């Protein structure tokens, strides 16, 4: 049995039934082409990210004889046939590397759903079956980080809209949404992939696996910022009668850090903000050399965020910016990390605006609402066969179910191009190679393209048509319409 965990064995990183599929293709099948796309869903566009992490982690390590032995034992124990000859062939003919070519959209690109994102084809006609064999792992490696990256990107558009309406400081945008999702996801790998996807859009995170993944797979340099934060254990250990001492201790202990987040809901949030922060510790907060964040961790996030900002303004004052909205002193902010989701975020900003306060008064964190509340069906991801070559003749292949029209797949080898400034998926043979935006990223064990994290960020921030994200800011725009009617 291999010393490598079965979870790292690419022959077992699949659905069991995949092991019987090599015999199901027509006799003479030489090449099988498949592609991955989002077939629509909760958003009209996606931010593509995560493929390079999968390739570097899983496809650049060859399978071994031990891997084959292990996979055979596991597969046959489940009553499934195992083609040892096929895998020994890959080991001997290709050094254990999957004989496939993968091409993809450059990572960080934001484009409408229902466009090809990835296309795969085998490079050796002896192994046509391999294209679809690792679908399970490849699709998962694409749908999850791309979905989380898209949720984060759409959240960024909400924040951008709020800042455009009520703030004078759009340069603060990448600092406004913090990833607290590590404990709310199902695995460390999910934290890594979802966490790195979020960091394409924002540079705030406490999800260490995501930070490490961005550095390891995309050469990110200092991709995230954080600072001294508190938890209830450290504060409640002082006892209710000494809550002020617990808060003061943190201010003193991390004075030189230039940033502290003070939990204010260990007992009575309103009392902590109004009387402890606003009175007993007021002078110390005003003299703190950096930023102090008041952090409520319970209650209705819409109301508690606005309430906290107002209570702090009552105690510490405020300025009015050029757009007529109140802003807390620069050394003080509300940090709201409980109950913040994609759905609640615009409601929080609308309430702040309704009360005449700038969006910059609050900084937000998301946990499970960022990294865990989504699945493959959120954006209807699928990998489907689109062409096969049998006895030297190419055939278009497509799925056309009558019971779910969104599952109708694309036929023929594909390309992605732009027409009149819009992304469009076309037949590969209908355009010149130079017009094809899909780039080869992997072939036969070699990484062909290596994207840097700065490139992902730059692509994600490229200007896009407003319809990509209008639905997520629509309710904020509609408030203007309601005001005019009133």
**Cross-strand pairs, 262:** 294
Q: Is 84 annotated as a binding residue?
A: no
DSSP character at residue 377: G
Q: Is 178 annotated as a binding residue?
A: no
What is the Cα–Cα distance from 58 to 311, expressed in whole angstroms? 52
Concatenate the DSSP letters of all residues of 38-73 into one string: E---S-SEEE---HHHHIIIIISS---HHHHHHHHH
What is the Cα–Cα distance from 400 to 407, expressed in whole angstroms? 7
Which tokens hold the place of 113?
């759903």
Q: Is 296 annotated as a binding residue?
A: yes
What is the Cα–Cα distance from 414 to 426, expressed in whole angstroms? 6
Residue for token digits 């455009």? 164
The Cβ of residue 271 has, within 10 Å, a number of other Cβ atoms equal to 13
| Distance set, CA 313 to CA 82, 259, 284, 304, 326 (Å) | 69, 19, 16, 14, 9
Q: Is 477 annotated as a binding residue?
A: no
Q: Is 232 annotated as a binding residue?
A: yes
Concatenate the DSSP letters of all residues of 12-31 into one string: TSS-GGGGGGGGSSPTTEEE
Q: Is 93 annotated as a binding residue?
A: no
Q: Is 206 annotated as a binding residue?
A: yes
What is the Cα–Cα distance from 290 to 302, expressed in whole angstroms? 26
Give the alpha-carbon dihedral of 205, 211, 213, 219, to 10 degrees: 130
Q: Is 295 annotated as a binding residue?
A: yes
Which tokens hold the place of 278?
């606003």
Q: Is 239 annotated as a binding residue?
A: no
Q: Is 480 annotated as a binding residue?
A: no
| Distance set, CA 449 to CA 324, 388, 438 (Å) | 48, 26, 11
Which tokens hold the place of 209?
């696996």
Which tokens hold the place of 434?
């130079």
Output the known binding site for beta-nicotinamide D-ribonucleotide.
206, 295-297, 337-338, 368, 376
Which residue numbers belong to the known binding site for diphosphate?
183, 232, 295
Give the annotated binding-site residues: 183, 206, 232, 295-297, 337-338, 368, 376
């Amino acid at each position: 049995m291999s010393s490598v965990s079965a979870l790292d064995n690419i022959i077992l990183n699949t659905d069991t039934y995949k092991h019987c599929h090599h015999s199901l293709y027509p006799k003479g099948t030489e090449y099988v082409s498949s592609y991955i796309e989002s077939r629509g869903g909760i958003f009209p566009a996606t931010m593509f990210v995560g493929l390079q992490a999968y390739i570097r982690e899983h496809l650049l390590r060859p399978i071994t004889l031990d891997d084959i032995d292990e996979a055979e034992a596991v597969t046959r124990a489940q009553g499934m046939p195992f083609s040892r000859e096929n895998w020994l062939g890959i080991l001997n003919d290709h050094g254990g590397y999957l004989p496939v070519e993968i091409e993809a959209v450059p990572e960080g690109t934001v484009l409408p759903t229902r466009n090809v994102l990835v296309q795969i084809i085998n490079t050796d006609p002896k192994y046509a079956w391999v294209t679809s064999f690792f679908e399970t792992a490849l699709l998962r490696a694409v749908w999850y980080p791309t979905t989380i990256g898209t949720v984060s990107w759409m959240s960024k558009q909400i924040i951008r809209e709020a800042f455009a309406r009520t703030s004078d400081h759009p340069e603060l945008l990448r600092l406004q949404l913090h990833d607290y999702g590590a404990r709310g996801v199902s695995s460390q790998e999910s934290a890594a992939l979802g966490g790195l996807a979020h960091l394409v859009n924002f540079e705030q995170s406490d999800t260490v696996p995501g930070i490490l993944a961005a550095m390891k797979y995309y050469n990110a340099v200092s991709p995230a910022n954080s600072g001294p934060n508190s938890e209830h254990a450290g504060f409640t250990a002082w006892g209710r009668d000494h809550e002020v001492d617990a808060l003061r201790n943190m201010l003193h202990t991390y004075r030189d850090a230039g940033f502290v987040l003070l939990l204010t809901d260990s007992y009575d949030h309103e009392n902590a903000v109004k009387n402890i922060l606003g009175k007993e510790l007021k002078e110390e907060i005003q003299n703190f050399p950096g930023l102090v964040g008041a952090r409520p961790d319970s209650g209705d996030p819409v109301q508690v965020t606005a309430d906290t900002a107002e209570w702090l303004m009552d105690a510490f004052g405020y300025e009015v910016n050029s757009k007529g909205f109140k802003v807390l002193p620069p050394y003080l902010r509300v940090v709201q990390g409980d109950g913040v989701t994609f759905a609640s975020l615009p409601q929080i900003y609308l309430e702040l605006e309704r009360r005449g306060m700038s969006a910059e008064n609050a900084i937000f964190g998301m946990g499970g609402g960022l990294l865990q509340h989504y699945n493959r069906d959120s954006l209807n991801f699928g990998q489907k066969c689109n062409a096969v070559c049998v006895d030297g003749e190419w055939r278009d292949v497509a799925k056309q179910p009558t019971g779910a029209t969104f599952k109708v797949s694309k036929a023929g080898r594909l390309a992605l191009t732009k027409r009149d400034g819009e992304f469009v998926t076309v037949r590969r043979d209908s355009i010149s190679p130079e017009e094809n935006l899909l780039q080869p990223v992997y072939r036969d064990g070699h990484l062909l393209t290596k994207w840097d994290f700065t490139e992902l960020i730059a692509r994600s921030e490229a200007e896009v048509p407003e319809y990509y994200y209008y639905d997520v800011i629509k309710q904020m725009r509609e408030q203007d319409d309601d005001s005019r009617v009133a």
